[in-house]
Structure 1
Amino acid sequence: MATYLIGDVQGCFACLQKLLRQIEFSPSTDSVYLLGDIVNRGPQSLETLRFCRDMQGSVQVLLGNHDLHLLACAHKVRPPGRRDTLTPILQAPDCKDLLQWLAAQPLARHLQSQQGQDLLLVHAGVLPSWSLQATMDYAAEVQAQLRSSNLPSFLQQMYGNTPDRWDDTLVGMQRWRVIVNALTRLRFCNALGQMDFSSSEAASAAPAGLMPWFDCPHRQTANTCIAFGHWSTLGLHNQKNLIALDTGCVWGGALTALEISMADFDQRQIHQLPCPPAQTPGK
């Protein structure tokens, strides 16, 4: 029985299948957690989405920004972009069922080892003032909106870069927008937790006054192991309390699976599959 964390697939279904064969994944005994952005930019978003839905139980997913973008396109909140590969999903006969399943997926997951170690799974990041429990609670607030009849209105108001920092007094869409942006878009912020979305460069190229979210001083989750994707220019990180797994599969990098032991999260093994580029950055 094995447990794997896999970074951004982004519709690269053939690569996902090849990686699963490489690790000898058995859906009857093993578990896979995909860290968001399961669709878009790769050539087989429809096949990827169907696979995840059909394999629920052995394959668990998180929502990333591209997954939310698909929901927004389906509800005509935003048109598909020039480089999007979402049209086959939107035209599929089972589109409604696929999107209903997708909207029911969480923005964060919490795993616990047999030794009592915590592992927090998110797509992008966690604000410095949030504890593990607060992160799960805030994610649940947004999940409730995504699963409600309020979904079209929520998606209509979801986009925007403000408010750019957390405040416990925030309510309604202002509050939920901060939660969505932190969990699905965050890379850089300042020492006070003010988010910035102007750069997607590597951590070493942080804009002046900013830092990667995980380097913020006094971060409440500093002693919690967090696994995330989203940041392909960051690359693979496999540290005690920080696991970054977006290794740029769609850009011609690799698709990465981290095998973890549910007995002890410090026992890990990396599996990687080199991938042909499905998109060219900046093109």
Structure 2
Amino acid sequence: MARYVIGDVQGCFDQLEQLLRLIQFNPQQDQLWFCGDLIARGPKSLQTLRFVKDLGAAAITVLGNHDLNFLASLHGYGRITAADLLDELLQAPDLAELAGWLQQQPLLHFDAKENLLLVHAGLAPEWDIPTAIEACRAVEDCLLSDAASLYAIMYGNQPELWSEARNEQDKLRFTINSCTRMRYCFADGRLELKQKGELSDNPLLTPWFHFWSDREHPTIFFGHWAALQGYSPVSAIHALDTGCVWGQALTCYCIESQQRFSVAGYEKRL
């Protein structure tokens, strides 16, 4: 058995198929771990979602910001744009089934036995691992019990600190921001949710993973930050989004062999 952690697919189903042929993926023996953002911006979100859902226990995925925005839009929140290329998915006869399955996926996957953690964007500096797991479970419970109410309060950049959360809604929003949107933090651990692009030389900003560099932590796999091109300087924290939807590459990491495999990214035709 081999487990492969795959960066943001974002509807690039052809590239996913190429990658799986490259690694000779066998769904009877192997398992795929997806870093979230299965859909949006690429041309084949519907096919991607159907494929991953049909893998059953051969796939583990966590929710990304594009996944959550899509789900929120189905409840009247969020905003789907033409650039998301989701019309085919939104018109699919199995839309409700696919959305229901996606809504059941976690924000965070933690393998306690092997000390492995999968998340889309990152973990807030204020958290320890038990706090992160508990915070994510609260979001996951809401997705199962009252998703519409969660989507109604999900958007926004406040609070910037976990310790400044005044109520349960603040905690839920902070958790989603940390796990699906964050790239940088300020020196005191406040989330900075606007900066994108390559590693910034702004002395006021610190990549979230640097806060974990001198702490004991699981082996962490994350996506979301395509501009890193798979680079993380912190030991046992692996960046997997290599910008497939932007024409760069789709990458996976084999947990057992500690090898990376990549295929060329999606080429948008004008």
User: Which TM-score applies when normalising by structure 1?
Assistant: 0.90
Structure 2 distance, partners of 1:186, 1:219, is 20
Q: Which moved more, 1:270-279 or 1:44-53?
A: 270-279
Q: Which moved more, 1:177-186 or 1:208-217?
A: 208-217
SS of residue in 2 equivalent to 1:256:
strand
- Picking from 261, 264, 269, the partner of 1:271 is 261
Contact 1:252 1:278 in 2 (8 A): yes
1:120-199 equivalences in 2 (<5 Å): 120-148=117-145, 150-167=146-163, 170-199=166-195
* 1:240 Cα deviation after fit: 3.2
SS of residue in 2 equivalent to 1:237:
coil
Counterpart in 2 of 1:109? 109
Counterpart in 1 of 2:226? 232
SS of residue in 2 equivalent to 1:88:
helix
SS of residue in 2 equivalent to 1:101:
helix
Contact 1:247 1:255 in 2 (8 A): yes
Counterpart in 1 of 2:96? 96
Counterpart in 1 of 2:27? 27
1:257 matched to 2:252? The reply is: yes
* 1:125 Cα deviation after fit: 0.7
Counterpart residue type for residue 83 of structure 1: A
**Structure 2, unaligned runs of 5 or more:** none
SS of residue in 2 equivalent to 1:33:
strand
Counterpart residue type for residue 192 of structure 1: D
* 1:35 Cα deviation after fit: 0.4
Q: Which protein has the bigger helix share?
A: 2
Runs of 4+, deviation exceeding 6 Å: none
SS of residue in 2 equivalent to 1:216:
helix
* 1:169 Cα deviation after fit: 5.7
Q: Residues 21-80 of structure 1, C-alpha deviation per residue, up to 9 Å, x if partnerless?
A: 110000000000000000000000001011111112101111000000110111121331
Structure 2 distance, partners of 1:247, 1:56, is 25
Q: Say if 1:219 and 1:180 are closer, same or farther in 2 by CA, change over 3 A.
A: farther
Aligned length: 269
Q: Say if 1:10 and 1:217 are closer, same or farther in 2 by CA, change over 3 A.
A: closer
1:211 matched to 2:206? The reply is: yes
**Structure 1, unaligned runs of 5 or more:** 262-266
Counterpart residue type for residue 127 of structure 2: W
User: Which TM-score applies when normalising by structure 2?
Assistant: 0.94
Structure 2 distance, partners of 1:223, 1:76, is 38
Q: Say if 1:176 and 1:62 are closer, same or farther in 2 by CA, change over 3 A.
A: same
Counterpart in 2 of 1:73? 73
* 1:171 Cα deviation after fit: 2.3
Q: Say if 1:279 and 1:65 are closer, same or farther in 2 by CA, change over 3 A.
A: farther
Structure 1 distance, partners of 2:269, 2:242, is 14
SS of residue in 1 equivalent to 2:83:
coil
Contact 1:9 1:39 in 2 (8 A): yes
Q: Residues 119-164 of structure 1, C-alpha deviation per residue, up to 9 Å, x if partnerless?
A: 111000101121122211111110001111x211210110000111
Counterpart residue type for residue 17 of structure 1: E
Q: Say if 1:118 and 1:168 are closer, same or farther in 2 by CA, change over 3 A.
A: farther
Q: Considering only aligned residues, what root-mean-square deviation do their CA atoms show, in Å?
A: 1.9
Counterpart residue type for residue 269 of structure 1: Q
Q: Say if 1:154 and 1:279 are closer, same or farther in 2 by CA, change over 3 A.
A: farther
